[in-house]
């Protein structure tokens, strides 16, 4: 405390000298002045960098002219408060410094025990804990908003669809955590191109209150699913606003030429997947399509009546689907006027058969006289993947990770009897995840190799960088344990943290090994040099680790929106850095003592 107080007093005497203060102000102004050209730039680069220049200027000037002096004044005012804390910290750290040399000496005498224990811990984490972590592409982000996509039987009137949507709105509105609800009911039947569109479809968007948690959202979704399932003949699918342009979590591609067999296999796969735990909203792309009225014209009958096939077909289409006859303009709005038969004159097969195809002739001719009309149902869509017909069974996951769900699906569909020429593969986010993780595996290995090459060139040795690289597996112990306890799955974000960690954790070992070599070059014996280097470098290593951990702590706490993306990376770096630091102080010296054969 006495030395700290004298240091602060000398600093303030230096600041009070006008010439030193002027130099200090000029120093803090130099970089903002250099950055001024960013603000003055024009064209594209000026647009991009102008804001960067302004922010840097303001921040640097505030830090240099205000923040530093304010912290000094605050430190002087709070000195009576901080001095006891600093004294307690110094006393506690002093005990650690006194104990550490004895611990390190014991570890050097029990080298095989220490190294064997570290390897055993690594093997337990690798073979026991790591397989239980699960895998996913990216963590799911809580957006406090979700959509209920509703589908009733094809042909359901718009009024009936709207009534069911109103019931669901009331169910959702009764929940206290719901902020607002928006609905879209149906699409124009004449404009719909598949069974996924039409008056029988609707979407309910639910926005939750600010501050609601992911657990509350999941509970609300389960509640609404249970309520909607009690409504007969209705299908519901839950989706979230697209935050990243990724595919559906689960997509199973079943390929083959025969469309009938393809549909049977896709429906069987859909049924099997729906029975698996953790899979929801299972749906095949080969669903039943819209009912179709197929008209086959009799050319001989048309010729006998003197009618043109083209004219009759256009007449039927205009009367049923409609034709834009004119447009209506109001306040710069243009509204098309569609002319077609009344609803009751085009409801079904009987009405279409009585449709007169020669309205201006004295003797009316019904459509049934010149055409065969039948009701049929085609597939909702026919997909082709790599020039092959394919059915795609999609699903969302709930309560399980992507890797576990993919494994369950592969085992279950492997029990199916696929005919010759038919096969299946799991794509979707699983395919993207495998591709991404393979690239990140390579990036991690490359990062470790580059770090080793740089250290080998600096140390002019292959042995000492090899010792330092032991910190990487030591860091993995802490990472796996932390992810296992926090129930965080392996993802792209975690691997980015691992790549960062590979370049960070070696720093402490570099500081330690470099000082050991320095002491040994002075003629000090190996064991004595290791113990003395550990005692001297203990404080710098602890300070480096503490500053990095404290800097990442706000990110690890998961504060703010999008924390689900940031937290796994911060947790990975913090856990790996802490475990590698503690193990570096004990394991790395023992490995060095064992590997370096020099006396």
What is the spatial distance between Cα 163 and Cα 161, in angstroms, rounded to a whole number? 5
According to DSSP, residue 343 is labeled G
Of 89-93, 185-189, 545-549, which gets the smallest average pLDDT? 185-189
What is the spatial distance between Cα 488 and Cα 140, in angstroms, rounded to a whole number? 11
Query: Global pTM?
Result: 0.68
pLDDT top residue among 73 and 548: 548
| Confidence band, pLDDT 50/70/90 cuts, at residue 574 | very high
pLDDT top residue among 264 and 8: 264
**Interval 172-196 mean pLDDT:** 73
According to DSSP, residue 416 is labeled S
Q: How much of the chain exceeds pLDDT 90, in percent?
A: 3
pLDDT top residue among 209 and 72: 209
Residues 6+ apart with CB under 8 A from 573: 497, 500, 501, 504, 548, 552
**CA within 13 Å, CB half, 287:** 16
Asked if residue 584 lies in contact with residue 509, where contact means CB atoms within 8 angstroms, the answer is yes
For the stretch 524-540, pLDDT in tens is: 888 888 889 888 888 88
465 token code pair: 């960088």
For the stretch 488-517, pLDDT in tens is: 888 888 888 888 888 788 888 888 888 888
Asked if residue 545 lies in contact with residue 537, where contact means CB atoms within 8 angstroms, the answer is no
Task: List beta partners, residue 145.
Answer: 207
Buried b (16+ CB within 10 A) or exposed e, 52-63: ebeebbeebbee
Asked if residue 228 lies in contact with residue 148, where contact means CB atoms within 8 angstroms, the answer is yes
Nearest Cα to 294, choosing from 195, 377, 188, 379? 377
Res 295: pLDDT:
85
45 token code pair: 């680069």
Domains in the chain, please, with CATH?
2-77 (no CATH), 91-137+435-595 (1.20.1640.10), 142-242 (3.30.70.1430), 290-379 (3.30.2090.10)
**Interval 48-75 mean pLDDT:** 61
Of 33-42, 277-286, 474-483, 495-504, which gets the smallest average pLDDT? 33-42
Alpha-helical segments (H) within 149-210: 158-173
Res 505: pLDDT:
82
What is the phi/psi pair of residue 223, to 5°? Answer: -60, -45
Of 84-88, 245-249, 324-328, 462-466, which gets the smallest average pLDDT? 245-249
Residue with tokens 């064997």: 116
For the stretch 322-335, pLDDT in tens is: 888 888 887 778 88
SS (HEC) of 188-250? CCCCCCCCCCCCCEEEEEEEECCCCCHHHHHHHHHHHHHHHHCCCCCEEEEECCCCCCCCCCE
């Amino acid at each position: 405390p006495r030395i700290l107080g004298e240091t602060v007093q000398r600093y303030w005497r230096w600041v009070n000298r006008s010439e030193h203060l002027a130099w200090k102000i000029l120093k803090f102004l130099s970089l903002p002045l250099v950055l001024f050209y960013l603000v003055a730039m024009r064209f594209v680069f000026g647009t991009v960098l102008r804001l960067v220049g302004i922010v840097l200027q303001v921040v640097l000037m505030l830090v240099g002219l205000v923040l530093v002096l304010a912290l000094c004044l605050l430190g002087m005012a709070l000195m009576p408060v901080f001095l006891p804390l600093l004294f307690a910290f110094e006393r506690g750290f002093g005990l650690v410094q006194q104990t550490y040399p004895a611990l390190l000496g014991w570890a050097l005498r029990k080298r095989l025990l220490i190294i064997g224990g570290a390897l055993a811990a690594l093997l337990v984490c690798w073979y026991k804990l790591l397989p239980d972590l699960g895998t996913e592409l990216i963590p799911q982000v809580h957006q406090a908003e979700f959509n209920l996509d509703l589908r009733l039987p094809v042909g359901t009137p718009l009024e009936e669809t709207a009534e069911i949507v109103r019931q669901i709105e009331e169910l959702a509105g009764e929940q206290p955590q719901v902020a607002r609800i928006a609905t879209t009911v149906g699409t124009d039947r004449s404009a719909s191109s598949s069974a996924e569109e039409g008056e029988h479809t609707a979407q309910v968007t639910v926005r939750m209150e600010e501050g609601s948690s992911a657990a509350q959202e999941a509970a609300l979704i389960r509640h609404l699913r249970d309520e909607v399932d009690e409504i007969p003949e209705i299908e519901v699918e839950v989706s979230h606003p697209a935050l990243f342009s990724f595919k559906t979590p689960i997509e199973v591609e079943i390929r083959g030429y025969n469309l009938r067999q393809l549909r049977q296999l896709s429906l069987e796969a859909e049924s099997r997947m729906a029975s698996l735990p953790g899979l929801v909203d299972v749906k095949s792309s080969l669903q039943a399509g819209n009912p179709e009225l197929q008209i086959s014209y009799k050319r001989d009958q048309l010729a006998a009546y003197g009618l043109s096939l083209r004219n009759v077909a256009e007449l039927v289409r205009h009367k049923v689907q409609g034709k834009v006859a004119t447009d209506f303009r109001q306040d710069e709005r243009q509204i098309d006027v569609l002319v077609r038969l009344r609803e009751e004159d085009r409801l079904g097969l009987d009405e279409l058969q009585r449709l007169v195809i020669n309205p201006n002739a004295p003797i009316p001719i019904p459509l049934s006289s010149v055409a065969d009309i039948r009701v049929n149902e085609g597939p909702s869509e026919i997909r082709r993947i790599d020039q092959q017909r394919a059915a795609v069974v999609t699903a969302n996951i709930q309560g399980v990770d992507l890797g576990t769900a993919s494994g369950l699906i592969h085992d279950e569909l492997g029990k199916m009897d696929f005919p010759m020429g038919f096969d299946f593969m799991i794509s979707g986010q699983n395919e993207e995840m495998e591709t991404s993780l393979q690239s990140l595996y390579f990036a991690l290995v490359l990062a470790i190799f580059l770090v080793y090459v740089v250290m080998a060139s600096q140390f002019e040795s292959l042995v000492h960088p090899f010792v330092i690289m032991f910190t990487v597996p030591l860091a993995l112990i802490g990472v796996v344990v932390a992810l296992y306890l926090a129930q965080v799955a392996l993802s792209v974000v975690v691997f980015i943290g691992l790549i960062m960690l590979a370049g960070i954790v070696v720093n402490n070992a570099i500081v330690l090994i470099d000082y050991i070599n320095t002491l040994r070059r002075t003629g000090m014996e190996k064991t004595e040099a290791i113990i003395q280097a550990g005692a001297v470098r203990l404080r710098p290593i602890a300070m480096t680790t503490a500053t990095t951990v404290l800097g990442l702590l706000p990110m690890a706490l998961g504060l703010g929106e999008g924390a689900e993306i940031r937290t796994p990376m911060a947790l990975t770096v913090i856990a790996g850095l802490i475990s590698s630091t503690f193990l570096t102080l004990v394991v790395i010296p023992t490995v060095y003592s064992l590997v370096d054969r020099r006396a």
